[in-house]
């Protein structure tokens, strides 16, 4: 799919409208760093350390999301900072062309959304992020699994015995919940804003709700 970026300025930050020629839908997005320069970003699909084993994003790709998602991330960050933790963003807006490559690499729709089914991945609508916890000194902390670990250990409900992992995961989940995100049953790092439905065009929303078994 051929996509192109149309930069324009909003009152809050630089907004980039990612317009996909085939979708005929402009998705207004902001660079998370332009909203909160302190946010730690490590886009895993920009390097080889991901399930495809190669970079899927061009060098220098920013972490883009809907403006509302960015402001909710700032809220989550403020909550975490009270406890001397912060977010690290593993993925944000994901073009459908990249979702297609992931789908081909994984081919397991329990974990990777089929870009041709439903509305595809909610990452492609700028309403989902993948995030983990780090401490305020930017050091990693113990979490249940690494990113894109498609094993039972990646479930939202941690069943392991390590109390440190349990408390880190709980803190991430509470902060994201209080900032207005839903989690995902099989991927503890995946979060979607609670009102994501308002950002999908009606036809895409219908397909997404059918795919998710909601009406």
End-to-end CA distance of the chain: 29
Catalytic residue among 42, 187, 203, 204: 187
Q: Is residue 94 at the binding interface for Zn ion, with CB under 5 A as the rule?
A: no
Minimum gap (Å) between residue 104 Cβ and Zn ion: 17
Which among 55-63, 125-133, 145-153, 164-172 is the span making contact with Zn ion, rule CB under 5 A? 125-133
Nearest to Zn ion of 15, 43 (CB atom) = 43
Write out the binding residues for Zn ion, residues 170-209 only, by CB under 5 A. 190
Which among 31-39, 52-60, 126-134, 148-156 is the span making contact with Zn ion, rule CB under 5 A? 126-134
Nearest to Zn ion of 168, 190 (CB atom) = 190
Q: Is residue 168 at the binding interface for Zn ion, with CB under 5 A as the rule?
A: no
Among 45, 130, 132, 188, binds Zn ion (CB under 5 A): 130
Q: DSSP string covering the chain, please? A: --EEEEEEE-SSSEEEEEEETTTTEEEEEEEHHHH-TT-EE--GGGSS-STTSS--S-TT---EE-HHHHHHHHHHHHHHHTTTEEEEEEE----HHHHHHHHHHH--TTTS--TTSTT--GGGGT-EEEEEEEETTS-B---SS-TT--SGGGSSS--SS-HHHHHHHHHHHHHHHHHTEEEETTEEEEEEETTGGGGS-HHHHHHHHHHTT--
Q: Is 204 a catalytic site residue? A: no
Residue number closest to Zn ion, CB atom: 190
How many positions of this chain bind Zn ion (CB under 5 A)? 2
Nearest to Zn ion of 66, 190 (CB atom) = 190
Active-site residue list: 187
Residues that bind Zn ion (CB under 5 A): 130, 190
């Amino acid at each position: 799919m051929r996509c192109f970026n149309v930069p324009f300025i909003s009152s809050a930050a630089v907004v980039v409208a990612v317009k996909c020629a085939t979708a005929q839908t402009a998705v207004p997005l902001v660079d998370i760093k332009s909203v909160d320069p302190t946010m730690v970003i490590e886009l895993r699909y920009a390097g080889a350390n991901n399930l495809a084993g190669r970079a899927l994003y061009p060098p220098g790709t920013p972490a883009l999301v809907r403006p509302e998602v960015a402001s909710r991330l700032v809220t989550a960050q403020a909550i975490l900072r009270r406890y001397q933790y912060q977010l690290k963003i593993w993925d944000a807006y994901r073009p459908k062309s990249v979702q297609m490559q992931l789908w081909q690499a994984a081919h397991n729709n329990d974990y990777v959304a089929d870009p041709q089914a439903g509305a595809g991945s909610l990452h492609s609508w700028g309403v989902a992020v993948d995030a983990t916890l780090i401490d305020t000194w930017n050091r990693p902390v113990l979490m249940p699994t690494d990113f894109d670990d498609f094993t039972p250990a990646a479930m939202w409900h941690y069943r392991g015995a390590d109390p440190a992992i349990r408390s880190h995961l709980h803190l991430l989940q509470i902060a994201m919940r209080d900032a207005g995100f839903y989690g995902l049953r099989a991927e503890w790092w995946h979060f979607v804003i609670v009102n994501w439905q308002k950002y999908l065009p009606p036809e895409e929303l219908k397909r997404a709700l059918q795919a998710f078994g909601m009406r």
